Structure 1
Amino acid sequence: MATGQGDAAVTPSVWRRYALALWVLLLVAIGSMRALNRYLVGVAYHHVAPVAPLLMEELTGALSFGAFLPPVFYALRWLRARRWRLLWHAAVFAGLSVAQTSLMIALRLLVFGWAGLPADDYAPTAWRYAMEVPTQLFFYVLIAVGLWLFDRYRASRARELRAAQLESALSEAQLEALRLQLNPHFLFNTLNAVSELMYDRPAVADEMLSRIGSLLRATLSAGAQEHRLADEWKLLGLYMDIQRARFGEGLDADVRGDAALDDLRIPFLLLQPLVENAIEHGGQGDHRLVRVEAAREADRLTLRIRDGGGGAARAGHGIGLGNVGARLRHLYGDDAGVKLEALPEGGSVVTVWLPARRWEAT
């Protein structure tokens, strides 16, 4: 019940009352400071005036001007969309000047009369209205310029926020497109391999189809761009099972993972297209050599995929390297990358590096 009462206390009406109270206190503070200034000036020039009349004059002036500021704010924003804005400004200022001076005179006559002090100097004469114009004009221009600058700043911030949101949405859409490219790419390649085995080795083709179903279920159920390295190893294991069914003992694959790195973040299905390339280019005939390893180097997670190909660094295969590079740039910027190098002893190695960040479940 206490929580409910606390929540109920913070309502829009309560916030409006707080804002109104703070606004009145600010106006009182301004009026009091002006009265103090006038009093000290009098002391400095040996013309000491009583404090009470000074305080009543300045408080009625500040409160009467503050009372008209909300409609002035509204009018200043309203007339921005109007033609002949200078004429509209003149009309708004004239109305503000007359209304504020009239309210100030009425308040002073009322307060001075209530206090039993003479109020002859506050009669509503033309000169009384005219003498208030310079001060009112100064504050009107100050408020108009300040409000214009504030609205321009707020509009600029809103544009920046919309631009950032659009950029984020575009980047997310591009990442999702890159991620979804992997499923049909993988499926096409593996089904193509199954079709090659369907008549000569139907039992192997059947086993591959079964394992393809398991891997597709795992990949299609994922919705995030990143997951744990341990989960990436599991997906890679399912893919390796498909390739082992295809190549049998001809696939010499070794995956070296470190359990201490299992909780690091990695893009979803990052390794599969690289390992697929390594298998396709990892040897000749039915013999393939693939080595996969992961290590932490300072604040980086480094992954290496080596094959036993023909000795020259290949320019990539299908969407593999291009997809990986694009995803890394979107997710990590310049903190991540991928490169392909030829090995002196033959074959090539793909090196991927990215920030070593711990996975935190949401």
Structure 2
Amino acid sequence: MNKKDSTDFYVPDLCRVRAVFLLLVTSELFVLVLSIVQAERGWIDWNYFGLLSLFVQWTTLTSAALICLLRPWLAQMSVARATLAIVVIVLLDVLAFSLFADNVLHPQPGVALWQGIAKKLLVALLIVLMVLRYFYLQDQWQQQREAEMQARLTSLQARIQPHFLFNSMNTIASLIASNPEQAEEAVLDLSELFRASLRTDDQLVPLSRELELCQRYLAIEALRLGDRLKLDWDIQPGLEQQAIPPLTLQPLVENAIYHGIQPRPEGGTVRIEVYGKGHFVYLMVQNPKPESSNRQHQGNQVALVNIQARPQALFGEPAVLKHSHQHNIYTVTLRLPARTAS
């Protein structure tokens, strides 16, 4: 039986400074609310606030430290057992500090003393159950989000335009009799494109692999479009290992040909430029501005939204896809954080 990874545990790592800071701020807000409710005169009972803050902060820090140390052990348990263990840890911690604090402040034990301790334990129980419930729901939401993201990435990565497949097969069929060697190369290029679309395990690949895939795709399109398709490459050296989601640049080039070159009887030039600037790498694809109906323009927008989804899912907000047109030239620019593919 394989041991579970502690990173899969629904309780966040309480050894991190950010997690401890959030716990302290949350507990201090809780103390503030109780101090306001407790005050008989004025807005807040400052003596009560100070004593309760000291008690709550110490119990919060020690409980977080214990859970942090026991995290690998807790992660091996089921959710119910881990929750029960954490509740016991926190309640024992609260009981120890309650006994210590009350013995210092009230050396003579009595019924009222034990009632006060019982109230503290009940409040601690309710709070820890609410916090653990929140952690569990957050973990479930995160897992669902990651599963949906992975399904979306796989769907987008496996996407090959049907019109491209049909056009490629027709082109290969026409070349079999006249130029079998060229037809064979086209079949190899097409098979490599399909192999890349079916390789869903790699979330990031080197830019050099994506450029090679674009060259294979353009080689197939050049057989169909002939002189109507002109290419202009401008790739800055040293960016071969830049990390990029697979099948990201190729759909941009395919989009440029489908919307900018294919509708024009005279064809046009597709310019592909890659350069680094600061902490980012820019991939730019230019083509003649489509002179088409709103339907084709909307199709272009939908294609760009689909292409943008994968870089943003993997890189977050730093990944930006922009499009513009100037002097009858349509430009799509993808900005990625400078990162080396592992």
Counterpart of 1:122? none
Counterpart of 2:208? 230
Counterpart of 2:173? 198
Q: 1:286 to 1:215 in 2, by over 3 A?
A: farther
Of residues 162, 182, 186, the one that matches 2:140 is 162
Within the alignment, does 1:341 sit opposite 2:324 as a pair? yes
Counterpart of 1:189? 164
Of residues 285, 288, 299, the one that matches 2:279 is 299
Counterpart of 1:261? 239
Highest RCO, 1 vs 2 (Cα 8 Å, sep ≥ 6): 2
Greater radius of gyration (CA): 1
Q: 1:34 to 1:309 in 2, by over 3 A?
A: closer
User: Runs of 5+ in structure 1 lacking a partner?
Assistant: 1-9, 39-57, 59-130
Q: 2:228–2:261: 8 Å Cα contact kept in structure 1?
A: no
Q: 1:256 to 1:138 in 2, by over 3 A?
A: same
Q: 1:36 to 1:330 in 2, by over 3 A?
A: closer
Within the alignment, does 1:320 sit opposite 2:299 as a pair? no
Aligned residue for 2:157, secondary structure, equals helix
Of residues 288, 291, 296, the one that matches 1:308 is 288
Counterpart of 2:332? 350
Q: 2:229–2:261: 8 Å Cα contact kept in structure 1?
A: no
Q: 1:257–1:294: 8 Å Cα contact kept in structure 2?
A: yes
Q: 1:228–1:266: 8 Å Cα contact kept in structure 2?
A: yes
CA distance in 1, matches of 2:104, 2:255: 83
Instruction: Report the Cα offset of residue 207 of structure 1.
Output: 4.1
Q: 1:255–1:292: 8 Å Cα contact kept in structure 2?
A: yes
Aligned residue for 2:317, secondary structure, equals helix
CA distance in 2, matches of 1:310, 1:27: 74
Of residues 152, 156, 162, the one that matches 1:174 is 152
Of residues 164, 188, 194, the one that matches 1:210 is 188
Instruction: Report the Cα offset of residue 305 of structure 1.
Output: 0.7
| Aligned pairs for 1:56-67 within 5 A | none
Residues 89-140 of structure 1, C-alpha deviation per residue, up to 9 Å, x if partnerless?
xxxxxxxxxxxxxxxxxxxxxxxxxxxxxxxxxxxxxxxxxx8432222211
| Aligned pairs for 1:100-179 within 5 A | 132-179=110-157
Normalised TM-score (structure 2): 0.60
Q: Percent identity?
A: 24
Instruction: Report the Cα offset of residue 218 of structure 1.
Output: 3.5
CA distance in 1, matches of 2:110, 2:270: 89
Aligned residue for 1:340, secondary structure, equals strand
Counterpart of 1:90? none
Residues 54-112 of structure 1, C-alpha deviation per residue, up to 9 Å, x if partnerless?
xxxx9xxxxxxxxxxxxxxxxxxxxxxxxxxxxxxxxxxxxxxxxxxxxxxxxxxxxxx
CA distance in 1, matches of 2:254, 2:239: 23
User: Runs of 5+ in structure 2 lacking a partner?
Assistant: 1-69, 74-84
Instruction: Report the Cα offset of residue 169 of structure 1.
Output: 1.9
Instruction: Report the Cα offset of residue 311 of structure 1.
Output: 6.7
Counterpart of 1:252? 230
Matched positions, count: 248
Q: 1:282–1:309: 8 Å Cα contact kept in structure 2?
A: no
CA distance in 1, matches of 2:282, 2:120: 59
Normalised TM-score (structure 1): 0.57
Q: 1:188 to 1:32 in 2, by over 3 A?
A: closer
Aligned residue for 1:262, secondary structure, equals coil
Q: 1:289–1:307: 8 Å Cα contact kept in structure 2?
A: yes
Instruction: Report the Cα offset of residue 325 of structure 1.
Output: 2.3
Q: 1:196 to 1:350 in 2, by over 3 A?
A: same
